[in-house]
Structure 1
Amino acid sequence: MVLSGRSTRLFVTGLTALSVLVAPAATAAPETAAVPKVWPVPQQVDAGRGALTVPATVGEVLGEHADPAAVAVVEQALRGAGAKRFVPGPAELTVYLGGPATDALGRLGVQGPGGLPSGGYALAADRASGTLALSGADARGTFYAAQTLRQLVTGHRIPQVKVRDWPAMPLRGVIEGFYGAPWSQADRLAQLDFYGRTKQNIYVYSPKDDPFLRARWRDTYPADKLAEIKALVDRGAANHVDFTYALSPGLSICYSDPAETTKLVAKFQSMWDIGVRSFAIPLDDISYTKWNCDADAAKFGTGGAAAGAAQSFLLNAVQKQFIATHPGIDKLQMVPTEYYDLADSGYKTALRTQLDPRVVVEWTGVGVIAPTITADQAKQAHQVFGHDILVWDNYPVNDYITDRLLMGPYVGREPGIAGQLAGVTANPMVQAESSKIAEFTSADFMWNPKAYDPDASWRAALADLGGRAVAPLTVFSENNYAGALDRVPGKPDQDSPVLRPLLDAFWSALDGHGDLLGATWRLDDYLRKLASNPADLRKGMAGNPAFLDEIGPWLDKLGLLGDAGRHAVKMLLAQRFGDNAGAWAERRATAGRYARAQAIVVQTARGTKQPLPCLFVCTPFLDKALSKVDTSFGVPLRPVATTAGLGTFQDNAPSRMVDRDDGTFYWSDWNPPAGSSVGVDLGAVKPVGHVEIKMGNPKSPNDYVHHGVLEYSADGNSWTQAATATDQPVVSADLPAGATARYVRLRVTATQEFWVVVREFSVGTLDNPPLAVTGGPAGNLPAAADGDASTVYTGVSPAPGEALTVTAASARALDRVTVLASDPAPRAEIQVGSGGQWRTVGFLAGAYTSVRTDGRPADGVRLVWRAGSPAPRINEIVPRFR
């Protein structure tokens, strides 16, 4: 496709209008399924023909002990479908709930809930008899039947259907176990309602920053705090969610002191008195090689086995003195100090052989944040700990990456784990409302893992939270998508799964491979959704201010990134078709919005952070786009950081190796295997000189490449060794005279136990030696020719005849001078010179000026300010030497 300059401008600036003209035609919606989708996905659904219409009067036949919460859910659902009144006994539509429902199911030839585990139920809607029957294996099961009915009602109708359903895992829920500000009381109450709706049955109260759980575990709660916990217990009971109280005494307890056990039991008793029936003793994140009292060393000895013996001693005493003496109490849970692997040890042997077999052990999988959990691993965990296993699953928790929201689905867990575990509790984010997306999907998996479809479940979660705003919520969530469960060593985060391929297609088409018009429209359409996401989501979810407050900084940044992206596309197109002035105008718009996005911060438990939506997609795109256009203006290419065989820990992206800031760094998420590498891509083959690689930092002084080789290459395939590095946190080397390279890397030659931190990876190139800036008016002179078009030299109003001069180290043939300025455009003559002799070659003509010279040798360029010129704002003066 060849366009004239005028056509190019129309093409670049008319994308919105173009989208109307070429947008694909709407397709007809698929036929509505006879039975609405139910979440969590039921085990058995048998759809019939037709549907029951809900009349104004509905009869109720309730069991003597019918669950009140189930009755309330049923009545609310039917009122929404048109019921005005409920009367006892049969009617045109009769609801049988509880005991009588079993007989009603039998009359319909439907198998009841007999033999199903706790939470199992049967439900039938029969049009011919006007029967709606809900019966559970227990009260919880009847409540879950009501939750299924709630989702089956559509308009004024209920489809004819038979459902027999049960949970695959006994325990399914959430553990509030993160570090940082605990959830508010309102957050927790809303969460407990949500767990009931999604058929989860356990909530573990274990916020690390509740002082009465850890540092002050011996102290009783003040009356107001105790009342708050009781309110949670009561709300949990109304939603059939067991409130588990988790007391963590490991920071200070003396295991061998009977008085300590008495205090722990007394604390538990105070919880029992307000209705708590489930208890846990987490002993995670403590030292088990240092005792809190000398008596423990005398009684148990030292080492991991001694710690296991001491913990077993305490837990067995609690089991005997408290758990065994309270009928109706749930099994005691504990979190071991070694909670994250399968390697046997003296500690685990002690738990396996000495801990009361009735105690349930919590385990996070293989790793604190396990990318996968397999059925075989779950089976091994049961064997190595010798107890029933409850997984404490560290997703979507973000207390270790507080600058990110993890809003993707629950993945990486094999369905077969259901047969090996007591259950799973997901550890959520600090952001309670935002956690509901992942919690919805984990609940779906726990209930019926064999039918679990992560993408379908995720989209249902978005609809559940977003309601009518599901479209903008989807856009926001897919750009805050990737989490630790998507990551494996050497594989990048899979963030922004929709935007990523759109960008790939656009870059390919821009290079001449594909339909540029179509790729541009599709990308711009999506970027437009990003740009409007803050307004769209705030309008659509105005009824959930807590959610909007949680995501505010991420939302605002995503909108600015989308806006910057749209300008970046126009910038690239203008550059592609030769409209350099238009490209420079769009470049300034891109950089301005990008800078505003980067300036947004959020206060977290780990300090002030930049929120990081679209981290591994938006930022690289904008950086690449700016670099590509800057190169077309003659600004030297800036190196791009590269890694091979390494992932990224938290937000410490590879780009931080080349940001000219020693205070930031790239950090791998794994110890580097032999053959992995860190390096830079210079963008083109260049003459290269000095290389310096600064690794490690004060917090991780051993995190560097301990055994490696420094190599360079022109093509990325054939490498030349320049130096070896052995136990050097800073590698400094001069490449041989005449060396040229595009790629420079430090390759790991031996496996090591430490990760890798790279603060700066700098490569000196000989084709673009530094330029000196002198003259005036006064201001930050170096910014006028520092090789970075984003920095701006700003001076005061110049005096006529005053000059700003850029000088090279030696005279070279000069072909062109480009001046990139910011509005208002200054007025000046452009002069080139050699040996102090100057000649005028042109005048500044707006924000973008590029003038040809005659190729004669020159060692300097200067701008001679004209009368009336506004104060100069110069982004870059670019002399193009041969």
Structure 2
Amino acid sequence: MHRTRTTAATALAVALAVIPLAGMSGSSGAAAARIADAGDSPGAAASVSPTPQSVHDRSDHVTITRSVTVVAGPGTDAPALALVTRTLKDAGARHVVRAGRATSRDGQLTVYVDGAGAARTLRELDAGGAGGLPADGYALAIGAGRIALAGKDATGTYYAAQTLRQLLPHSDRPGARVRGTAVRDWPATPLRGVIEGFYGTPWSHQARLDQLDFSAEHKMNIYVYSPKDDAYLREKWRDRYPAGRLAQIKELVDRARARHVEFTYALSPGLSVCYSSDADVEALTAKFGTLWDIGVRTFAVPLDDISYTKWNCAADKARFGTGGGAAGAAQSQLLNRVNREFIARHRGAQPLQMVPTEYADLKASPYKKALATRLDRNVLVEWTGVGVIAPTISVAQARQARDLFGHRILLWDNYPVNDYVSKRLMLGPFNGRAPGVPGRLAGITANPMIQPAASELALHTVADYVWNDRAYDARASWRDAIRELAGGDARAERALHAFADVNYTSAINPHQAPELAAAIDRFREDGRAGRLDGVLRDLRNAPAVLRDRLDSRAFVRESKPWLDATRAWGDAARDALRLIEADRAGDTATARQLRQRIPELVKTAKSYVYVDMKGKRIPVVVGDGVLDTFVADALAGHGASRAARTG
């Protein structure tokens, strides 16, 4: 079973002189931006995801000129400036020139990034300033021939640049007109991101680099390195990394910093640590020291998925006694020493994170009481919700977790992780988390699938929720995620939608293939076989379309057995539909041929396997409970009609 991590609670109460979208439900991502406050046209703001807290169209516009001047404030974030420059060139500008102040050349577009010029322009364009915003917040305005963006901090400026990237068009020549827009935006919770915390094949180095890029584009700011099958995190936690492995981690740290993502290193000593051992404390802090030297500034000590009824050394039993309370006291002592002897002595270190052994419930216990009373107050405690995979999480539960553990809570959300059911892809949206939960937490990290590229569909929706939970709509965000992954290719988007629909179900999305199931229900009601056959044909052809047209070759590669199974189930389901029609028409010869052929198609559909890191062959499932049931019902119906004819 995969084990968890969590994100912690802190409320954001911000009074801002803007038109908020936070109270609007029923829209997300691009959809929510369409409910902007003024204007009869959605304008460019319709493309912004995650949904800004406040966005409205203006009645004016700007034109992307051949030359653009960028005026930046002193100390403006270099990655943000680089992104602004690249975005302007992608929009058609031939020359982007940095200047200390605006030029007087008529008609030339000027872009202000931070500094006095940006502050003045934002006020003039009714976007306010960045001063009153929470951390990572920003303001952006497009209008009256100017663009201005500014962040509360460097990360806020970078996020403003990411929003500008979405608002400007892609063009190979200057002259594009961009609708005026004013945005004022900030996140719902401080920490937002991904924890690679599953069992099974760890992600590749390239997949992690790609994830950091994806996180930045979606305004997620934390990546926790905690793959359960990295021996240097668990069984060999005392050992130094080989030089090559450490160099790879440094590359990840550097990429994360350039993308405004906090790389968190999580060391799990619980399988063998002796809590009362000075040598083990020194080994743990020494290991952290090697990571500090390559740039890591955030550390975690997960103590999940271990026994606390058995000690790893006799000294712990003698010192702490037995039972959950003793385990909580021992873990608190270890963590406090790490916190005081390493974190506190390293300027710039972020708060220590920990995963408790009891991480998946809200039951009072001696263990939780020990953590609440003994663990240093500034340590973040991770929690998964009620259950390793919580079907729902409410505001009341988040509040109760903070009270029970006595610390800020970082939610380790086990979605879309599939290590416990590796026969499935989890391609449905983030669901079941109530509005208001992020504001009670220090943050939310999502545990993804073994398949990194395929995880992006769900992670897109996670990013939408954790940035602006009040505007979040799971289905709308899911459609946006499909559109983004399809890269603007309408055929690829349609195929990806069909494929994701038959890989939809999970603990938080209990209904499998909701759109296909609805199409089958309509057929059962109205008997219109042609319409259902069109749906099944699209499903059957979806794998070939994705292989041919989807830019993400990693997605295609990772999904291979599920793509193969989808094609085969599409064949079986279409023949099952023909069987039903043949029975209705009394065409016994055709029905007999189909009845003989369908079982072999089903056998083929069930033959595809996922091979795990240990070589185990695991049959994959797609559309289970929908496709297989439809085929089985068709065969049973044929048998019944045949019996009726011969009886």
Q: Pick from 151, 173, 176: which aligns with 1:136?
A: 151
- Tell me the equivalent position of 1:292: 312
> Bigger CA drift: 592-601 or 327-336?
592-601
Residue-by-residue CA offset, 1:287-338 (whole Å, 9 max, x unaligned): 0000000000000000000000000000000011001101111100000000
- Tell me the equivalent position of 1:243: 263
- Tell me the equivalent position of 2:443: 423
- SS of equivalent residue, structure 2 residue 407: coil
Return the alpha-carbon distance in structure 1 between the equivalents of residues 268 and 608 of structure 2.
37
Q: How does 1:220-369 map to 2 (within 5 A)?
A: 220-369=240-389
- Tell me the equivalent position of 2:179: 159
Residue-by-residue CA offset, 1:4-25 (whole Å, 9 max, x unaligned): xxxxxxxxxxxxxxxxxxxxxx
Residue-by-residue CA offset, 1:387-414 (whole Å, 9 max, x unaligned): 0000000000000000000111101111
Residue 107 (structure 1) shift: 4.0
- Tell me the equivalent position of 1:499: 516
Q: Is the 8 A contact 1:189 1:235 kept in 2?
A: yes
- SS of equivalent residue, structure 1 residue 322: helix
Return the alpha-carbon distance in structure 1 between the equivalents of residues 347 and 369 of structure 2.
30
- Tell me the equivalent position of 1:629: 638
Return the alpha-carbon distance in structure 2 between the equivalents of residues 507 and 227 of structure 1.
59
- Alignment of 1:549 onto 2:557: yes
- Tell me the equivalent position of 1:477: 500
Residue-by-residue CA offset, 1:418-467 (whole Å, 9 max, x unaligned): 22110100000000001011111011100010010111111111111111
Return the alpha-carbon distance in structure 1 between the equivalents of residues 177 and 343 of structure 2.
48
Q: How does 1:286-685 map to 2 (within 5 A)?
A: 286-467=306-487, 468=489, 469-486=492-509, 493-508=510-525, 514=526, 516=527, 519-541=528-550, 543-605=551-613, 607-634=616-643
Return the alpha-carbon distance in structure 2 between the equivalents of residues 544 and 452 of structure 1.
26
Amino acid at match of 1:38: V
Q: Is the 8 A contact 2:565 2:605 kept in 1?
A: yes
Q: Is the 8 A contact 2:561 2:608 kept in 1?
A: yes
Amino acid at match of 2:98: P
- SS of equivalent residue, structure 2 residue 508: helix
- SS of equivalent residue, structure 1 residue 357: coil
Q: Is the 8 A contact 2:430 2:508 kept in 1?
A: yes
- Tell me the equivalent position of 1:98: 114
Residue 605 (structure 1) shift: 4.8
- SS of equivalent residue, structure 1 residue 498: helix
Q: Structure 1 length as normaliser, TM-score?
A: 0.66
- SS of equivalent residue, structure 2 residue 47: coil
Return the alpha-carbon distance in structure 2 between the equivalents of residues 466 and 446 of structure 1.
23
Q: Structure 2 length as normaliser, TM-score?
A: 0.89
Q: Is the 8 A contact 2:48 2:167 kept in 1?
A: yes
- Tell me the equivalent position of 1:51: 61
- Tell me the equivalent position of 1:82: 92
Q: Is the 8 A contact 2:60 2:143 kept in 1?
A: no
- Tell me the equivalent position of 1:728: none
Q: How does 1:36-47 map to 2 (within 5 A)?
A: 36-47=46-57
- SS of equivalent residue, structure 2 residue 377: coil
Q: Is the 8 A contact 1:134 1:145 kept in 2?
A: yes
Q: Is the 8 A contact 1:284 1:337 kept in 2?
A: yes
Residue 359 (structure 1) shift: 0.3
- SS of equivalent residue, structure 2 residue 84: helix
Residue 81 (structure 1) shift: 1.4
Return the alpha-carbon distance in structure 2 between the equivalents of residues 502 and 168 of structure 1.
37
Return the alpha-carbon distance in structure 1 between the equivalents of residues 282 and 87 of structure 2.
48
Amino acid at match of 2:109: L
Amino acid at match of 2:219: K
- SS of equivalent residue, structure 1 residue 633: helix
Residue-by-residue CA offset, 1:676-704 (whole Å, 9 max, x unaligned): xxxxxxxxxxxxxxxxxxxxxxxxxxxxx
Return the alpha-carbon distance in structure 1 between the equivalents of residues 177 and 246 of structure 2.
45
Residue-by-residue CA offset, 1:266-299 (whole Å, 9 max, x unaligned): 0001100000000000000000000000000000
- Tell me the equivalent position of 2:71: 61
Amino acid at match of 2:155: R
More strand by share: 1
Return the alpha-carbon distance in structure 2 between the equivalents of residues 340 and 162 of structure 1.
42
Residue 51 (structure 1) shift: 2.0
Amino acid at match of 2:115: G
Q: Is the 8 A contact 1:125 1:133 kept in 2?
A: yes
- Tell me the equivalent position of 2:209: 189
Residue-by-residue CA offset, 1:773-829 (whole Å, 9 max, x unaligned): xxxxxxxxxxxxxxxxxxxxxxxxxxxxxxxxxxxxxxxxxx96xxxxxxxxxxxxx
Residue-by-residue CA offset, 1:703-722 (whole Å, 9 max, x unaligned): xxxxxxxxxxxxxxxxxxxx
**Percent same amino acid among aligned pairs?**
51
- Tell me the equivalent position of 1:860: none
Return the alpha-carbon distance in structure 2 between the equivalents of residues 56 and 621 of structure 1.
58
- Tell me the equivalent position of 1:658: none
- SS of equivalent residue, structure 1 residue 321: helix
Residue-by-residue CA offset, 1:81-100 (whole Å, 9 max, x unaligned): 11000123335111111224
Return the alpha-carbon distance in structure 1 between the equivalents of residues 41 and 451 of structure 2.
35
Residue-by-residue CA offset, 1:41-79 (whole Å, 9 max, x unaligned): 000112101321101100011122121211122122211
Amino acid at match of 2:319: K
- Tell me the equivalent position of 2:161: 146
Return the alpha-carbon distance in structure 2 between the equivalents of residues 158 and 205 of structure 1.
40
* Aligned-CA RMSD value: 1.5
Residue-by-residue CA offset, 1:552-595 (whole Å, 9 max, x unaligned): 11011111111111111111111112111111112233223222
- Alignment of 1:212 onto 2:232: yes
Q: Is the 8 A contact 1:118 1:137 kept in 2?
A: yes
Amino acid at match of 1:599: S
Q: Is the 8 A contact 1:437 1:461 kept in 2?
A: yes
Residue-by-residue CA offset, 1:177-233 (whole Å, 9 max, x unaligned): 000010000100000000000000000000000000000000000000000000000
More helix by share: 2
Amino acid at match of 2:114: G
Gaps (5+ residues) in structure 1? Answer: 1-30, 487-492, 509-513, 636-814, 817-879
Q: Which has the higher contact order (CA 8 A, sep 6+)?
A: 2
Residue 539 (structure 1) shift: 1.1
Amino acid at match of 1:224: G
Residue 115 (structure 1) shift: 2.2
Q: Is the 8 A contact 1:402 1:605 kept in 2?
A: no
> Bigger CA drift: 610-619 or 626-635?
626-635
Q: How many residues align?
A: 591
- SS of equivalent residue, structure 1 residue 279: strand
Return the alpha-carbon distance in structure 1 between the equivalents of residues 592 and 60 of structure 2.
64
Q: Is the 8 A contact 2:485 2:552 kept in 1?
A: no
Amino acid at match of 1:590: I
Residue 32 (structure 1) shift: 6.8
Q: Pick from 121, 125, 128: which aligns with 2:142?
A: 125
Return the alpha-carbon distance in structure 1 between the equivalents of residues 533 and 443 of structure 2.
45
